[in-house]
Amino acid sequence: MSRLAHTVAVRASGVDMFFGTPDNQVVALKQADFEARRGELIMLVGPSGCGKTTLLSVIAGTLTPQAGTVEVFGQRLDGLGQEELTAFRRKNLGFVFQSFNLIPTLTVAENVMIPLLIQGRPYDEAHDRAAAIIEKVGLKGREEGRPNALSGGQQQRVAIARALVHEPPLLICDEPTSALDKDTGGHIMQLVRDLSRSPERCVVVVTHDHRIFRFADRIAEMEDGRISRVVDDPKLLDTTHL
Amino acid sequence: MYRLALNMLFGDRAKLAMLLCGLAFSALLMAQQSSVFFGIMSWTYTPMVNIRAQVWVSDPMVEQVNDAKPLRDTDLGRVRSVDGVAWAAPLHTSFVQARMQDGNFKLITLVGIDADTFAGAPAVLTQGRIEDLRLPDTVIVDEWGASLMGRMTVGPDGKPRNTPLKVGDTFEINDIQARIVGICKVKRAFTGGPFVYTTYDRAKGYTLGARRTLSFMLVEPQKGVTPTELCDRIERDTGLKAWTSDTVIWSWGERSLARNTFWWFWTNTGIPFSFGTAVLLGLFVGIAISGQTFYSFVLENLKYFAAIKAMGAGMGVIARMLFVQAFTAGLIGFGLGAGMAQGIGRVMIEKGMPPFVMYPQILWATFVLVLGISFVSAIIGIIKVSRVDAASVFRG
Ligand SMILES: Nc1ncnc2c1ncn2[C@@H]1O[C@H](COP(=O)(O)OP(=O)(O)OP(=O)(O)O)[C@@H](O)[C@H]1O
Ligand SMILES: [Mg+2]
């Protein structure tokens, strides 16, 4: 692997995140340290409620932790205002959600265009780029249809197209396969892996789904609000509790 | 993003139809209720519309057109001698009982106009000629009145049928014969029944020579003299009250008899209150419906706006998207509603029932209200989206 591939993309250190009131507090992250590199696909696994989604939100800048620092591509997120965080996400992030979050009243192409339009790209240019990536996810011909006319797997393909259309250096996926059956989930992960592969890009995937662990370069295991260990080979994980 | 905002709005035909129906219905309700309200209120100054004269002169104590306090016949001469008066004609109005052929009595509004100038004569005669009023014992009856005074008979099919009065029919006013020589079309009034026109002198006879029969004087200013100027002069020289005849009830023209009549009814009767509550109800229901439909639209899209926000759209962009959606729906809804109100209004005006006066102000007010509702809904949506934390998009 090149030196570049090993440069740090995301670094979170000593992150604390609590929810609720002081006398009824839920600890979501406790002194969490996490690192992801450019060029890799890293999975975040662990039992339900251990803080995976919370950590993902902190990295994405949609949640601000009570303690600790988060650095994404050398940019410290603490200290950024709401507007700056928004601009940061617009430029650097692609999202794939468990529940797809496609807008049903828009066409497939229009859904995919959103990140480009948010960046201020003209409609026609955005449409062309959307069409190109829709072809790559294997949905050529469905551009002008509605997302609801597609199967779950196809909808997640659209979501992947939307997450990558503006070529963000950081792709964040929260349980991208948990709404899909086994085979479809495998295909979706294969697609994520194929399309997002780039020496510059870092992909963080939160999952419960051990069947897709094989797509990971590294796997970070979480427990009670912190990363307990990081492994290179899924076989090293104890998957019984997942 | 605005194009997307619009596509989001237009994307779901069923929901859009609901939204537009809500908005259109409330716009219709607001416009049509207020139009009927002003229509009914316009009946209060009907004489100002039917009897066309530039300046009206009355007793100083008169406050509105339906409440004439008789003048002396000699007052006519005094008004005629005021500088700037081209001509002045007498006008009689009173409520009297008419006895129909079948013996029934009907309350009518008797209007006596000057036989020389025919000042105050109805504008539209559907049958007969105004000059025929110069023949003895003649009257002209308005169309609606003619059917009110008509005879109930049993038709060949056994159903009761109303035969309106027609030219040549007769009835009696205080035992004096009245023969119909014409049928006219006039605006209906709030007070009184059928309008029966005759000459001023004959009206005196019909009212059994009541001592004073001069209700109003109709005055025409000379060229170059404005009605308002003339009013000032008449009041100064005669001590009588002079009024202009414009029917713009919005104006602050203190001299307008129509306007004073309108506001007299407004302050002195329960009519505005009872009809006003209907208008308010219309407004209230309208606001509730359109507010509600908008709000549910916003709620349904909330999670998508949250996703857009997470993907990096600032609140400014989202706010503008919501405004574009709200105002577009508001505009279309208003257009549909106002169009329907106008259509219904046209039918109503044709039938004359219920009265319908859609001032441009009503449309403007409805427009402003609907857009106001859109604005408030958009603001509520914006607040909602700004409160929803972007991290929530990760939750199922
Ligand atoms: N907005 C919130 N308000 C209160 N508590 C929260 C909130 N978000 C998360 N939590 C709590 O923080 C803890 C961590 O939640 P998180 O969603 O990060 O877990 P997770 O590992 O993603 O779980 P899952 O696998 O079920 O998605 C949980 O106990 C959860 O109840
Ligand atoms: Mg989660």
How confident is the model over B293-303, as pLDDT tens digits?
A: 777 887 888 88
What pTM was computed for the model? 0.76
Alpha carbon distance B202, B100 (integer Å): 19
C-alpha to C-alpha distances, B295 to A153, A191, B290, nearest whole angstrom: 32, 39, 8
Give me the number of domains chain A comprises: 1
Alpha carbon distance A53, A11 (integer Å): 16
CATH number at residue A223: 3.40.50.300
Alpha carbon distance B380, B385 (integer Å): 9
Query: Average of pLDDT values for B315-335?
Result: 91
Collapse the DSSP code of B86 into the 3-class scheme (helix H, G, I; strand E, B; otherwise coil) and give the result: strand
ipTM above 0.90, yes or no: no
Query: Average of pLDDT values for B222-231?
Result: 90
Ligand 1 close to Cβ of residue A54 (< 6 A): yes
Query: Average of pLDDT values for B122-129?
Result: 89
pLDDT digits (tens, 9 = 90+) for A181-203: 888 888 889 888 888 888 889 99
Task: Please say if the pLDDT value at position A148 is more than 70.
Answer: yes
Q: What is the pLDDT of residue A2?
A: 46
Ligand 1 close to Cβ of residue A53 (< 6 A): yes
* Domain extent for A48: 40-53+81-241
Q: Which residue of B has its CA nearest to A126?
A: B1
Which range, of A145-154, B137-146, B264-273, averages the lowest pLDDT? B264-273
pLDDT bin (cut points 50, 70, 90) of residue B346 is confident
Nearest CA to ligand 1 atom 31: A49
For residue A148, the 8-state DSSP code is: G
Ligand 1 close to Cβ of residue A62 (< 6 A): no
Interface test with B, best of A101, A162, A177 (most B CBs within 10 A): A101
pLDDT bin (cut points 50, 70, 90) of residue B67 is confident
pLDDT bin (cut points 50, 70, 90) of residue A3 is very low
Q: Mean pLDDT score of chain B, rounded to an integer?
A: 85
Task: Please say if the pLDDT value at position B316 is more than 80.
Answer: yes
pLDDT digits (tens, 9 = 90+) for B195-213: 999 999 898 888 876 667 8
State the count of interchain CB pairs (< 8 A) between A and B: 89
Residue A19: inside a domain? no
d(CA A51, ligand 1 centre) in Å = 6
The dihedral built from the CA positions of residue B149, B154, B160 and B161, taken in this order, carries a sign that is negative
Alpha carbon distance B68, B78 (integer Å): 19
Chain A residues within 8 angstroms (CB to CB) of chain B: 53, 56-57, 60, 62-63, 82-83, 86-91, 93, 95, 97-99, 101, 103-107, 110, 113-115, 117-119, 123, 146, 174
pLDDT digits (tens, 9 = 90+) for A62-96: 888 999 999 999 889 988 988 899 999 999 999 99
Q: What is the pLDDT of residue B43?
A: 84
- Contacts from B254-261 at CB under 8 Å and sequence distance 24+? B255/B227, B255/B228, B255/B231, B257/B45, B257/B48, B257/B56, B257/B58, B257/B64, B257/B65, B258/B45, B258/B48, B258/B49, B258/B65, B259/B45, B260/B63, B260/B64, B261/B44, B261/B45, B261/B48, B261/B64, B261/B65, B261/B66
Task: Please say if the pLDDT value at position B20 is more than 50.
Answer: yes
Ligand 1 close to Cβ of residue A48 (< 6 A): yes
Q: Which residues of A touch B314 (CB under 8 A)?
A: 83, 86-87
Residues listed for chain A: 242
Q: Mean pLDDT score of chain A, rounded to an integer?
A: 89
Task: Please say if the pLDDT value at position A21 is more than 90.
Answer: no
Ordered by start, the domain boundaries in chain B are: 2-42+271-395, 46-246
Q: Which residue of A has its CA nearest to B11?
A: A105
Alpha carbon distance A233, B168 (integer Å): 112
Residue A7: inside a domain? no
Residue A65: inside a domain? no
Query: Average of pLDDT values for B138-167?
Result: 85
Q: Pairing mode, if any, of strands A218-223 and A226-231?
A: antiparallel
Whether residue A207 contacts residue A215, with contact meaning beta carbons closer than 8 Å, is answered with no
Is A123 in Cβ contact with B314 (below 8 Å)?
no
Q: Which residues does B109 contact at the CB level (< 8 Å), separation at least 6?
A: B93, B94, B95, B189, B191, B192, B193, B194, B195, B196
Q: What is the pLDDT of residue A241?
A: 52
Is A57 in Cβ contact with B394 (below 8 Å)?
yes
Strand (E) or helix (H) holding A45: strand A41-45
Q: Which residues of B touch A70 (CB under 8 A)?
A: none
Task: Please say if the pLDDT value at position B328 is more than 80.
Answer: yes
* Of A54, A172, A209, A221, best ligand 1 pocket probe by most atoms within 8 Å of the beta carbon: A54
Q: Which residues does B21 contact at the CB level (< 8 Å), separation at least 6?
A: B293
Q: Which-ligand-closest: CA of A222?
A: 1
Q: Which residue of A has its CA nearest to B303?
A: A101
Q: Which residue of A has its CA nearest to B389?
A: A62
Residue A235: inside a domain? yes
Q: What is the pLDDT of residue A5?
A: 44
